[in-house]
Amino acid sequence: MKQFLEESKKISHEIASLSSAIKTKVLNEMADALLQHCDYIITHNDIDIKEAKKNNLSHDIVDRLLLTATRVESMSQAIKEIAALKEPVGRILDGWVTQDNLNIQKVSVPIGVVAIIYESRPNVTSDTAALCFKSGNVCVLKGGKEARHSNLAIANVLKEVLAKNKISTNAISLLPDSTREGVAKLIKENKYVDLIIPRGGAALIKYISENSSIPVIKHDKGLCHTFIDKDANHEKAIEIVLNAKCQRPGVCNAMETLLVHTDVAAYILPPLYEAFMNEGTELKGCDDTRKYINIQCCEHEDYDTEYLANKLNIKIVKNVDEAIFHINKYGSGHSEAILSENYSTVNKFLDIVDAACVYANASTRFTDGGSFGLGAEVGISTNKLHARGPMGINDLTTYKYKIYGNGQSRK
């Protein structure tokens, strides 16, 4: 493990220095190679699928695991899109001349060695490998063990393209020991690995955050709220909250708790109830809510739960301050929305709510790299530092200062 990571670190300087033209050429060749070797990939995916069925994994997991010709085509297309992204390395982020006449440039550079830990979907292997390569980083990938044959096949196809272009094939590699013990060792190798990105279950993320000596960018849960203010446009409000909950309930930017201003509860809760019933949403409410609509009682722990399902808590609050207080207490700092036509109320909410994305009059479902226009995304960070919210390819870079002098010494 140590030797493997040492090698990754060693070649990171080579990968960081690749020209934009080479990186783009190699990525386009990788996209083509995935199509050419589609059968090879699907054959290996088949082994994973058979094992998964044998092990009685859920239908949902088997579906996420499955690769078809269409899905391999999408993977190829995704790499082509990443190849076409604007070069993330070498952007001049800032620049100035100092009192000593030094010319300072703050320039984006690759992070170095990035380890990504994820679960069943094999397309994450090609997506993240391509994002890391485009941004000049060496990646160490640790996918779910249920997808290991698929991931190995995909990595082999990508590595072959690297070899053909005389680039160190370890620029893209799978963690050699993908057991729990392997991960435990990985997260202590801070001399060789610069960043760990865990995407996956809450337990895994907690374990890594608490035990890693390497900086971690978490892709943790989304416990998102929407607040219908007394000055909300009711028609828009109903449409937005339905979208935030029901358009795709199983994702991190879906709403888990709806907060309703007490002044409008009587008017808005009955039509909301009708609308949610049509969507088959399971509703729970606070005592005040249950005066207006006949739903289950919401317990304190429900406010703390990311349902990832078509379930919703409803709570009546007396004003925007109580809404903000509830959100800052229970929210996971992901995405929070206010629906209101009142200028000051909206500004207060956007200023004080502590989350990566705060929305006025729109669905929280827009929190992702694609909707934001960032291109292919690494994920959605719930960290506060370095990268917060949707992580685009630029977030896979850091910076250095280049300082141009002409003989200056310090006085």
Q: Using the minimum distance from each CB to its own copies, give the nearer residue, 53 or 191.
A: 191
Out of 75, 154, 195, 393, the residue judged to bind its own copies by CB under 8 A: 195
Q: Using the minimum distance from each CB to its own copies, give the nearer residue, 26 or 216.
A: 216
CA distances, 184 to each of 204, 217, 220, 383 (Å) = 11, 17, 19, 21
Out of 127, 146, 194, 229, the residue judged to bind its own copies by CB under 8 A: 194
**Stretches 35-43, 60-68, 164-172, 403-411: which one binds its own copies (CB under 8 A)?**
403-411
**Stretches 67-75, 151-159, 237-245, 285-293: which one binds its own copies (CB under 8 A)?**
237-245
Q: Quick one: DSSP state of residue 394?
A: G
The b-or-e profile of 78-108 (16+ CB within 10 A means b, else e) is: bbeebbebebbbeeeeeeeeeeeeeeeeebb
> Are 72 and 35 contacting, i.e. CB atoms less than 8 angstroms apart?
yes
Q: Which residues partner with 297 through β-bridges?
A: 285
Measured CA to CA, the distance from residue 401 to residue 264 in angstroms comes to: 54
> Are 283 and 227 contacting, i.e. CB atoms less than 8 angstroms apart?
no
Out of 68, 165, 247, 278, the residue judged to bind its own copies by CB under 8 A: 247
**Stretches 23-31, 144-152, 234-242, 258-266: which one binds its own copies (CB under 8 A)?**
234-242
**Stretches 27-35, 36-44, 106-114, 260-268: which one binds its own copies (CB under 8 A)?**
106-114
**Stretches 36-44, 189-197, 279-287, 292-300: which one binds its own copies (CB under 8 A)?**
189-197
Q: Using the minimum distance from each CB to its own copies, give the nearer residue, 97 or 309.
A: 97
Q: Using the minimum distance from each CB to its own copies, give the nearer residue, 4 or 366.
A: 366
Contact pattern from residue 341 through residue 380 relative to its own copies, giving x for each residue in contact according to CB under 8 A and a dash for the rest: ---------xxx-xxxxxxxxxx-xx----xxx-------
Out of 17, 36, 165, 296, the residue judged to bind its own copies by CB under 8 A: 17
H or E stretch at 46? helix 38-54
Residue type, position 311, single letter:
K
> Are 158 and 170 contacting, i.e. CB atoms less than 8 angstroms apart?
no
Q: Is 285 exposed, middle or buried (0-12, 13-18, 19+ CB in 10 A)?
A: buried
Within 203-232, the residues that bind its own copies by CB under 8 A are 209-211, 213, 215-216
Q: What torsion, rounded to 10 degrees, do the Cα atoms 206, 212, 214, 216 define?
A: 0
Q: Using the minimum distance from each CB to its own copies, give the nearer residue, 141 or 242.
A: 242
Q: Which residue has the tokens 């291109």?
A: 375
Q: What angle do CA 246, 249, 255 make, to 5 degrees?
A: 80
Out of 2, 86, 236, 291, the residue judged to bind its own copies by CB under 8 A: 236
| Number of residues engaging its own copies in binding (CB under 8 A) | 68
- Interface with its own copies (CB under 8 A): 13, 16-17, 96, 98-100, 102, 104, 109, 111-112, 188, 190, 194-195, 209-211, 213, 215-216, 233, 236, 239-240, 242-244, 247, 328, 350-352, 354-363, 365-366, 371-373, 383-386, 388-389, 398-410
